[in-house]
Structure 1
Amino acid sequence: MQLLLQGRGFQVRSFADPEALVADVKANNPACLVTDYRMAGCNGVEVLDRLRTAGWSGSAILVTAYGSAELLQRAMAHGFDAVIDKPCKDSALINAIRDATMGRAGN
């Protein structure tokens, strides 16, 4: 995913540790967060909740291999701009990021 996004001109920072991700987002204020749902010790919805509580207002995309109508509803209620099921097509991810960031820029 990182190579795909970099190849399309996006600046990418990737993290294996959700704590490092939260600290980096607070420090660098990226335009968009792309996060997996299942991670060691927490999930993507919890990560976004922490970032929103800290005042971060960027776009957020949730990627998951465990998609369901319930997860989609929960993710959207917590502020995700899109939920993408794995395996995802490259174009679906790129379009979701562009749509989400353009929508936030217009607000």
Structure 2
Amino acid sequence: MNVESAAPYEAERPRLLLVEDDSGVRRSIQLLLQARGFDVRAYAEGSALLSDPGPQMAVGLIADYRLPELEGLSVLRSLRATGWDGPAILITAYPSEDLTELAKAAGYDAVLEKPLAEHLLVETTLRLLGRRRGDGSTVPP
């Protein structure tokens, strides 16, 4: 199983799930969101996430669309089948209206295009989770 979680004080930090097969992108997103106060459980494959008992404690999911074994839409469908109901963001280098519709039908709340704009990923994550910005203001819906 390939899972990365390096954040201190994990019990006190809301857990996010991240599935991204590109190790550089995965690590960048993980560090970005850890700096915002999240415990980020990062996986290289959707099957690794689904075999881990930890996802049920997560507050949100960020998943790449194109993954080696199990693509991002199937990852969320499988999580939903276990009763997990957190918000989810699909990231893709191949955006299209059709993919956005498929993502919404699978239960994704947002679709973001790669390369990711860091501020957009953070704002979208915080908005979906109803969190506050670093300056104390609320992220608008």
Paired position in structure 1 for 2:81 = 53
Paired position in structure 2 for 1:101 = 129
TM-fit CA distance, 1:68:
0.4
Unaligned runs of 5+ in 2: 1-28, 132-141
The DSSP-based 3-state class of the residue aligned with 2:39 is coil
The residue type equivalent to 1:13 in the other structure is R
How many equivalent residue pairs? 103
Higher relative contact order (CA 8 A, sep 6+): 1
Q: 2:62 touches 2:91 (CA, 8 Å); kept in 1?
A: yes
Question: What are the residue-to-residue correspondences of 1:13-92 with 2, within 5 Å?
Answer: 13-24=41-52, 27-92=55-120
TM-fit CA distance, 1:16:
1.0
Identity %: 42
Q: Take 1:59 and 1:2, find their aligned partners in 2: how far apart are those partners?
A: 17
The DSSP-based 3-state class of the residue aligned with 1:66 is coil
| Structure (1 or 2) with the greater helix fraction | 1
The root-mean-square deviation of aligned C-alpha atoms, in Å, is 1.7
The DSSP-based 3-state class of the residue aligned with 2:88 is strand
When Rg is computed on C-alpha atoms for both structures, the one with the higher figure is 2
TM-score scaled by length of structure 1: 0.88
Q: CA 1:25–1:73 in 2, change beyond 3 Å: closer, same or farther?
A: farther
Unaligned runs of 5+ in 1: none
Q: Take 1:17 and 1:61, find their aligned partners in 2: how far apart are those partners?
A: 16
Q: Take 1:42 and 1:20, find their aligned partners in 2: how far apart are those partners?
A: 10
Q: Take 2:58 and 2:40, find their aligned partners in 1: how far apart are those partners?
A: 9
Q: 1:26 touches 1:56 (CA, 8 Å); kept in 2?
A: no
Q: Take 2:103 and 2:56, find their aligned partners in 1: how far apart are those partners?
A: 23
The residue type equivalent to 1:50 in the other structure is S
